[in-house]
A and B are shown apart, each in its own frame.
Chain A
Amino acid sequence: MNDVVLEARGLTKHYTSGHFRKKRIVRAVDGVDITLRRGEVVALVGESGSGKSTIARLLSQLIPRTAGDILLDGESITVGYGHAFRAYTKRVQMIFQDPFASLNPVHPVRHTLNRSVSIHSPKLSKKEHDAAVLTLLERVHLRPTERYVDKYPHELSGGQRQRASIARALGASPSVLLADEPISMLDVSIRLGVLNLLRELRDELRIAILYITHDIASARYFADRTMVMYAGRVVETGDSEIVTQHPAHPYTNLLIASAPDPDAEHPEGRAKGEPPSLAKTPTGCSFNPRCPFASELCRSEAPPLLELPLPVSVAPSSSVGSVTDAAAPVPRQAACWLYDTTGRADAPSAPEFVADALGVAR
């Protein structure tokens, strides 16, 4: 598909910690592949410390990668600083988690947006420039725009501030938005407003959005595709509806079983264990110490991302109002030996949910 804007292959970030005698490598992100397409929202779900924010920073080139490749419009790109970085940020913009910290408190909204417009479109006349600033506010529904343009960040509520920072990102007219937990600091009642706004941008401006979150329910609501991360690796990916309704990986299962849901029955004592230290990941599959189905194979060898057939019971559904062509079904993958088809003798025996995930009665 030539709709692909930003792509990462084998993206890896290792940090070193400790002294030279006791040097340890922290594997924050380990060989992650991501594809962002025009007019599509991809959700990256995982617990704190699973490396999801590191991916956003790597993709925005705020930090250099250890290994792997980032491709913008199909071309490999590495930018450090200066002009190359500016040119890159014009295409790839980021929205940060905390709207209280990411807007400069000493400047009104007008200044913040002025900077964004004048940096990314320097040749506008004064009149066009002012019009552009107001259009940005209009875009993010901060109406009447004249009232909001001269406000300082402290005069705005959390949701309005996050809208202002989205407007700042749009000032560059980017092709890709990296949203790092954009709603987790906002009040519950206004979160959906911000998500609906981002969805509108996806549909009207055909922006590719990477939505990073720890809330899998909001990923189901907002994203077309969902990737679940655990300890720096992607463990499951596929159409959001399929991943949340028919989870394949034991970790995704745990995540969904743990999410607060008043209608669901929660078998007690399911949630066990803690995420591993990234400096000392267990051998084999990093989820194996917490996995109730782990076998000898899981403890010795890390599973690759295995291709899964789409469950026949559900048709792949794009989210409400999506403009992506549903022609090509979203590939579905899970990094778990449960889905190994080569028939290895030491593979774990399949629990019930595997049949549901595969959509076939065994």
Chain B
Amino acid sequence: MTTQTRQERAERSSRPSRPEVRVVPPPAQLADDLVLDIRELSVQYGYGENAVQALKGVSLQLGRGEILGLAGESGCGKSTLAYAATRLLPPPGVITGGEVHFRAVDGQEHELLSLSDNELRAVRWSDLAIVFQGAMNSLNPVYRISRQILDAIQVHRPTWSSKQRQDRAKELMQLVGIPAERLRAFPHQLSGGMRQRVMIAMALALEPQILIMDEPTTALDVVMQRQIVEQIVQLRDRMGFSVIFITHDVSLLIEIADRIAIMYAGEIIEQGPAEELYRRPRHPYTRGLLKSFPPLKGPKTELTGIPGSPPDLANLPTGCKFHPRCPFAMEKCVTVEPVLQISPAKPEPGRTVACWLHEDEALLPQELAR
């Protein structure tokens, strides 16, 4: 607990040093259909000269009932974004700027980064729940499942009777398709997929508005992954919460997400509706990423992946962070950093891209202009 308070203190003290705003300032009020609005969020790991910029002014909106996919390679900042937005970032991570607006169930608007510890504690889990990476191992091995679920309910719903809590726990287990008698089981008696479902049940215990899932299926095999993913979509349809789904598997995201944001080196480089993004990628990195998954159906073709290595955050290239690996890199890419905006060459509603190729239709290669 001490580490967390220390970290929160560090966050608060460092907040004034906000970087200059690059985009038109967004409206102070949260739009009606949004539940979460992340504005210009910046995160550093470490202090002073050795600090590494893990997130650079990332803005992201989450609509009500929407499944938002966050994709990118390891180290691109996708998990950092989720943890920073919920103020769960472990030290040495420091939030250096930005705002996170959130609308609670009662319609009240909160700015998560400026809430007091007590207010934050009330919001977390009941309004905003997280399923962590490797969640199967986040259950306590020495307690029965029932105790761990009841604990969470008891903290947030202290007025409930024991009977009410028990009923809720049983209801939750049925919700995720596990027989209620398995509440008596210890975590080791459940399979990996079942443990993951228990974690989802616990996250949903207090009917949150937002469910953040950090690589929830990476440790599972494909059959179990399909089961879990189907379950999440079904639960969303039934309960109407919003989901932020973080993964490196873009092909999985395209199937389940409504909207996808692709991250590279701490920035969002492309964002748009899932289907559109898959059919017509606009950023060379997105295109490369989609071409890195060998297809299971259709003609068999020679694929190359993306040349080079993912960037080292401590030693980032100048200009566009992707230019050393980009097949279409120009002179401008080396020196000037592109801005995430609606493509001037190919304007489409709801899609933004950060790439200089989109400045002029003449520059845009055939592959990215479809």
Interface residues of A (CB under 8 A from B): 47-48, 157-160, 187-193, 196, 214-218, 220-222, 241, 244-245, 254-264, 266, 268-272, 274-275, 317, 319-320
Contacts and interface: CB of A to CB of B under 8 A. Distances in A.
Q: Which of A160, A188, A216 has the most CB of B within 10 A?
A: A188
A104 B293 CA distance: 31
A190 B310 CA distance: 8
Contacts of A271: 223-224, 226-227, 230
B304 A274 contact: no
Contacts of A266: 226, 255
B117 interface: no
A299 B73 CA distance: 44
Contacts of A222: 294
A22 B98 CA distance: 60
Indicate the size class of the contact surface on chain B: 35 or more
B56 to A, nearest CB: 20
Contacts of B302: 320
Contact of B73 (A188, A214, A254, A260): A188
A262 B300 contact: no
Given A187-B74, A188-B249, A320-B300, 17 more contacts: A160-B309, A187-B248, A188-B293, A192-B294, A193-B307, A196-B304, A215-B222, A216-B296, A241-B300, A259-B222, A260-B249, A261-B251, A261-B255, A262-B254, A262-B255, A269-B230, A270-B226
A82 B298 CA distance: 49
Nearest to B312: A157
B65 to A, nearest CB: 19
B73 A189 contact: yes
Across the A-B interface, the 4 shortest Cβ-Cβ residue pairs: A192-B305, A221-B294, A47-B221, A189-B306
A249 to B, nearest CB: 14
Interface string B282-324: 0000001100111111101011111101101000000000000
Nearest to B217: A260
A188 B309 CA distance: 11
Contact of A258 (B223, B297, B300): B223
A261 B222 CA distance: 11
A48 B292 contact: no
Contacts of A158: 74
26 contacts: A187-B74, A188-B248, A189-B288, A189-B292, A190-B305, A192-B292, A196-B304, A196-B305, A215-B222, A217-B293, A217-B294, A217-B295, A245-B297, A258-B223, A259-B296, A260-B225, A261-B296, A261-B297, A262-B254, A263-B295, A264-B297, A271-B227, A274-B193, A274-B194, A317-B300, A320-B302
